[in-house]
Structure 1
């Protein structure tokens, strides 16, 4: 009887094991199918994922197809390779099936974001603005001139209006043309969507190798110096309409504007030292001058985020408007200013700013020389990697 009982238990155990194995195979097969479908769906998306999202997708794909990262870490000068390696390594012991499901979920989130973006876009006004911006050679800039007011809109909402090299060059040309255009009396900068600008696009630093690192840094710093000079030398009123969060260079350049209007939901952040870099756009001279040394240091050195109301008290923001009526309130302010005689505006700005133009150019040159050194330094590379890993 005991022998018969053992045989029955053995047959039951085998049945349970086969059932469990079959169930696991079905789950694995389902994960494979969903994973393959997600890859196909990704190719149909019109939305451009953020750099951090791309890194996450790369890491999940590698984890799903290869498994845990056991490769050697790339050289410090290989920015792209280090970003990918770190993102993959962060996944640790995540199983292949877990990585496949996470990949599927990420693609689903991107699809939802694309639908939401399409629903919130006013296609008619967007097409009108885009047609006037094409002459400046950048898809990220919309330029519209009406009633002597030129409005430059940073138009990359999917990437939080991050600035590309093409956009830098486009803005330099826009300011050069507007300076000599009698039909323009004021130039206003703003952003599409929830953000004003998230600073530099990380794509600006792709394609860097140990062989070209130093020259790339020098070339980029030279471009940045020309960009700042375009603001320093612009003779007409410059107005910033900060519609949402501003980060990095989009904050430091505010000191070169003649008026800064901000939404009460806007925040300002300059996280330079956190990633081993240094400030630019003459902020190291202008910020201490208008807000005092210690307050300037809290932003430029210690990476403290500043609200719009705080920035108004620090004299960096001229006026704060409710977010619900922000664009309409700014339009009324700018239209009021545009009615003043153009030559009076130009001569008055020349008197108030002209006496320090030479100093601003000197500061700009020194800042860009330091930036070139920072970008090529080991501690900057390590800080950037650490920042991205935490993000």
Structure 2
């Protein structure tokens, strides 16, 4: 539940590629997400089926590495600002944020679940971060939210050792609010969302701010620290070798 205006702010930061046509803009159209508003609910859906709905971060990262594999510091600093800006919007968003997961969730999309107010999943959903597998480090405030939600040892399994967990496991550990059968997922969830949308909107916003206000300063500090470390990891030999191997394999 939220406003399309926020989505517009996120898009120019590079996380999504915006349709560059007037007709697309007037309809809230984007190339890699679908945005619709109905029954007081704004629905944002990942829309990259040919890439298994992956967030469009890789396309933003690969141009940093030309054939000679020279790194441009200015672009990496810009990448840090992109990351921080996106996460900052999640931290500060004034209305309820509800995530619906009905498939494989990997990477930043999983990390950001810790900043959502409710997470509903189908029984076919799975969750994995893969940060260290890629030579990177936790992001999306997951280094703070995951241990708080799941406990330190379970969070370590996901953030450090890349453990893949099922929707049921995620629910038991507190990362997911409730799990539904895949066949009933859409019907069950949207019935609830429509009921939530009819609650007094100012009361919803005030209640969320009351619950989250004590965490905001901490979360912004965590996000900044994570983004700084992420930039450093982008200079590390481990990450460069992994990315180089990926680019070489993708050309085969």
Mark yes or no: TM-score above 0.5: yes
Matches of 1:227 and 1:211, distance apart in 2? 26
The higher-RCO structure (CA 8 Å, 6+ apart) is 2
2:183 aligns to what SS in structure 1? helix
Q: Give the 3 Å change call, closer, same or farther, for CA 363–273 of structure 1 in structure 2.
A: same
Helix, strand or coil: the match of 1:303?
coil
Distance 2:27 2:231 in 1: 30
Aligned pair 1:270/2:129, yes or no? yes
Q: Distance in 2 between matches of 1:135 and 1:223?
A: 25
Residue aligning to 2:61: 205
Q: Which residue of 1 aligns with 2:200?
A: 341
1:351 corresponds to which of 196, 205, 210: 210
| 1:42-75 deviation line (CA, Å, top 9, x unaligned) | xxxxxxxxxxxxxxxxxxxxxxxxxxxxxxxxxx
Moved over 4 A (4+): 131-137, 385-391
Indicate the RMSD between aligned Cα atoms, in angstroms. 2.0
Shift of 1:138: 2.7
Q: Give 2:33's aligned residue.
A: 141
Counterpart among 66, 78, 85 of residue 219 in structure 1: 78
Unmatched segments (≥5 aa) in structure 2: 1-22
Aligned twin of 1:323: 182
For these two proteins, the number of residue pairs brought into alignment is 225
Return the match for 2:49 from 157, 168, 180: 157
CA radius of gyration, larger in: 1
- Offset, 1:272: 0.7
Task: For 1:337 and 1:268, locate their aligned partners in 2 and report how far apart those are by CA, in whole Å.
Answer: 26
Report if the CA contact (8 A) 2:29-2:35 is conserved: no
Output aligned runs, 1:182-197, within 5 Å.
none
- CA displacement 1:178-231 (0-9 Å, x = unmatched): xxxxxxxxxxxxxxxxxxxxxx3x322222245543222211111010000001
- TM-superposed CA distance for 1:139, in Å, is 1.1
2:43 is paired with a residue of what secondary structure? strand
- Is 1:382 the counterpart of 2:238 in the alignment? no
1:381 deviates by: 1.4
Gaps of 5+ in 1: 1-130, 165-199
Cα distance 1:234–1:262, how it changes in 2: closer, same or farther (>3 A)?
Answer: same
TM-score relative to the length of structure 2: 0.84
Note the C-alpha offset of 1:334.
Answer: 0.6
* Residue 283 (structure 1) aligns with: 142
In the superposition, the TM-score normalised over structure 1's length comes to 0.55
The structure with the greater share of residues assigned to helix is: 1
Q: Distance in 1 between matches of 2:25 and 2:124?
A: 28
Q: Is the 8 A contact 2:28 2:36 kept in 1?
A: no
